[in-house]
Amino acid sequence: MNTKIVLITGASSGIGRALAFAFGREGARIVICGRKADALFVVRDELQQANIGVLALTADVSVEQDVKQLIEQTIAHFGRLDILINNAGISMRSMLIDTDPAVFQKLMDINFMGTVYSTRYALPYLLESKGSIVGISSIAGYRGLPVRSGYSASKFAMNGFLEAVRTELLHSGVHVLTACPGFTASNIRFSALDAHGDAKGETMRDESSMMSAEECADHILKAVKKRKRELILTTQGKLTVFINKWLPSLADKLVYNTLAKEKDSPLKSR
């Protein structure tokens, strides 16, 4: 990673922040972006204190013009781009029957269209560097999760998009990685939207029992180095994908029962 230029969206906390440190410690220079300037600049200062070269740019990946400017500013500052990590994302927690469709639109705008915009405008520079495109997806991109239908839809869309792009770029030298963490300790559940589009501000799971964001970032770093096409993390995540492929009816029951045990779950435990 020495001298590589790495752009990470949604890097003001959680996995994005951990990725900035993981790649930065390997010698890469980092561009971090986020919507909240205060939180973003805190991470910038932490990276600088660790002697990691960093450029912090505020941007909302759901806004096309923001993303165009993000890429332009990155190239203007560093002159190149080697790795794009599409990490910006938001989740939800509500039953479909209760959910305002606008919540689905917001999830798609950030999780899916944010990936489309960033990848599209970064691609000319990644073709030059024969670099990497990384999508931080989810097990929910392989197996739809109840009470998170909009989140699942956005991650299925991301997975399909990156698979198509990988195939388009098969002979270009550009590497495409779809990374799917299982349940990882991060702030995504704290900021998950409710049925009306408001952040819940609390998690419904035991964060202490999950893979840390730092461990997750280390696995993603190794996968980029090896130019892997796919990364599925945690034993639970791998098992979920396997069972869903070969025993889908059983997967329905297991997923339902697991998520019904969450705090304040609208699913009825059986």
Residue 188's pLDDT band, with cuts at 50, 70 and 90, is low
% the chain with pLDDT above 70: 94
pTM for this predicted structure:
0.93
- pLDDT for 1 equals 85
CB neighbours (10 Å) of residue 76?
A: 9
Phi, psi of 56, deg, nearest 5:
-110, 125
Residue 206: is its pLDDT beyond 70?
A: no
Whether 254 is in a domain gets the answer no
% the chain with pLDDT above 90: 85
Helices 14-25 and 213-225, packing angle to 10 deg: 50
- pLDDT tens per residue, range 113-132: 999 999 999 999 999 999 99
Whether 20 is in a domain gets the answer yes
Average pLDDT of the segment spanning 218-222:
97
Helix, coil or strand: residue 33:
strand
Q: Is there a contact between 185 and 210 (Cβ–Cβ < 8 Å)?
A: yes
- Give the CA radius of gyration of the chain: 18
Whether 266 is in a domain gets the answer no
- pLDDT tens per residue, range 153-171: 999 999 999 999 999 999 9
Contacts of 185 (CB under 8 A, 6+ apart): 207, 208, 210, 211, 212, 213
State the average pLDDT for the chain.
93
Residue 190: is its pLDDT beyond 80?
A: no
Q: Is there a contact between 101 and 193 (Cβ–Cβ < 8 Å)?
A: no
Average pLDDT of the segment spanning 202-209:
60
Give the H or E element holding residue 254. Answer: helix 248-260
Helix then strand then coil, in percent of the chain rounded to 5, is 50, 15, 35
Comparing C-alpha atoms, which of 216, 193, 203 is closest to residue 138? 216
| Host domain of residue 215 | 5-236
CATH number of the domain at 95, please.
Answer: 3.40.50.720
**44 is written with which tokens?**
């910038």
Helices 235-246 and 248-260, packing angle to 10 deg: 140
Whether 67 is in a domain gets the answer yes
Residue 65's pLDDT band, with cuts at 50, 70 and 90, is very high
Whether 241 is in a domain gets the answer no
Domain tally for the chain?
1
> Which among 117, 142, 151, 256 is annotated as catalytic?
151
Q: Which segment of 149-158, 193-202, 249-258 scores lowest on mean pLDDT?
A: 193-202
Whether 122 is in a domain gets the answer yes
Q: Is 121 a catalytic residue?
A: no
Whether 25 is in a domain gets the answer yes
